[in-house]
Amino acid sequence: MADFFSLLNKGRTIMCAPSANSKKKALEDIAAIIEQDTGLSKADVFDALSSRERLGTTGFGGGVAIPHCRMPSVSDPIACLIRYEQTIEFDAVDGAPVDLLFVLLVPDTANETHLALLASLAERLQTTSLADKLRQASNSDDLFDIAKSA
């Protein structure tokens, strides 16, 4: 099975200026990036991620959030990585604002794949200095290169 980082491409690995000032705006940014790169409906992606957030925050802690959901219109897992230049409030479990968002969309029926991808990502974030390395990126190309070498 693929890991989160093997699912990334340059179109979905973005370093954003400080445009998002809320979780809602960040989810809108994610939906727009995914729509532009995959053709999935921005409204559908936003609605699916927002519905998942209503179940409980995906703010992981340490400045990281992992918004994720299952969608019937997704045929293969999709990953997106966004680094904001300024932190945003995301209701993280540790109360800290977030600047790194690791986004995962999976097919509606891919329960095991979904959980395995989330678990491997969480483990990598807890056991490495990956988040610190990603925060050193100076642009989207750097961010992509660091993520792909993770």
User: Which residues are part of the catalytic machinery?
Assistant: 68
- SS3 track for the chain: CCCHHHHCCHHHEEEECCCCCCHHHHHHHHHHHHHHHHCCCHHHHHHHHHHHHHHCCCEEECCEECCEEEECCCCCCEEEEEEEEEEECCCCCCCCCEEEEEEEEEECCCHHHHHHHHHHHHHHHHHCCHHHHHHCCCCHHHHHHHHHCC
